[in-house]
Amino acid sequence: MGITYVQNVVAKGAVCLDGSPPAYHLDKGFGTGINNWLVQIEGGGWCNNVTTCLVRKNTRLGSSKQMVKQLAFSGILHKEETFNPDFYNWNKVKVRYCDGSSFTGDVEAVNPATNLHFRGARIWTAVIEDLLEKGMKTAKNALLSGCSAGGLTSILHCDGFHALLPTTTKVKCLSDAGYFINAKDVSGVEHIRAYYNDGSAKNLPVSCTSRLNPSVCFFPQYLAQNIRTPLFILNAAYDSWQ
């Protein structure tokens, strides 16, 4: 599937780490799936400071300039019924990940020395609004999914995604390998919690931040029970990355 750059939102500051426009790939639905939408968020870990974000800035995880122009769709994005009987004919979207914060950051200031932009929350809104204009605003069914950091995104933005769609749309969320837990790893370090950044606090679910310190509201164990939209969790019993 070819890449779509959302150029018109750059002026609003909805940009990747390097200031380039956000992007996604779209495979239009057909037949009985023409009014159904599957939005999958790309994974790729996180960055949480200038040093780690600079490492990503000139890669596909920080710049749409570095993304491939054509992307093969597989798994639940596959267009053949044999391999993907549930979603093969839906409108299928792969949202590219280039902000390093699971689409939660929104820092206005840009350091001229690094030219890093922390604008994931703006990207999220801009891409979903673009998809609504492309036909998702008339969706009968909509599924927000993602893997790893994208799986976390599908949890953090689940209710927000639902709220942007018509009340008549049946909405669900699927997190694949995104249920990161607040625990120490085998070396005794809180590896995942170290990725939390204050720039994300205002864009985390209020159902969690109104009760707890925002630093723990990245973790599904503290917020999943308050998500109102149907949410399916898919996670391996063992996760070597955690």
Tell me the per-residue pLDDT of 37-56, one tens digit each, with 9 for 90 and over. 999 999 999 998 899 999 99
Which CATH number goes with the domain that contains 149? 3.40.50
Question: How far lies 160's CA from each of 62, 127, 143, 173, 213, in Å?
Answer: 24, 13, 13, 11, 20
60 lies in some domain: yes
Q: Give CA–CA dist 132/138, Å, rounded.
A: 8
125 lies in some domain: yes
Q: What is the pLDDT of residues 15-27, one digit of tens each?
A: 999 999 999 999 9
Which range marks the domain in which residue 118 is found? Answer: 3-234
pLDDT of residue 190: 79
Q: What is the pLDDT of residues 68-126, one digit of tens each?
A: 999 999 999 999 999 999 999 999 999 999 999 999 999 999 988 999 999 999 999 99
241 lies in some domain: no
83 lies in some domain: yes
Phi, psi for residue 112 in degrees, rounded to 5: -65, -20
pLDDT higher for 200 or 5?
A: 5
Q: Give CA–CA dist 78/196, Å, rounded.
A: 34
pLDDT of residue 17: 97
pTM higher than 0.75 for the full model?
A: yes
What's the pLDDT band for 193 if we cut at 50, 70, 90? confident
What's the pLDDT band for 184 if we cut at 50, 70, 90? confident
Q: What is the pLDDT of residues 129-174, one digit of tens each?
A: 999 999 999 999 999 999 999 999 999 999 999 999 999 999 999 9
pLDDT of residue 241: 72
pLDDT of residue 172: 98
CB 39 within 8 A of CB 142: yes
240 lies in some domain: no
Number of domains in the chain: 1
Written as six digits, the tokens of 63 are 């710049």
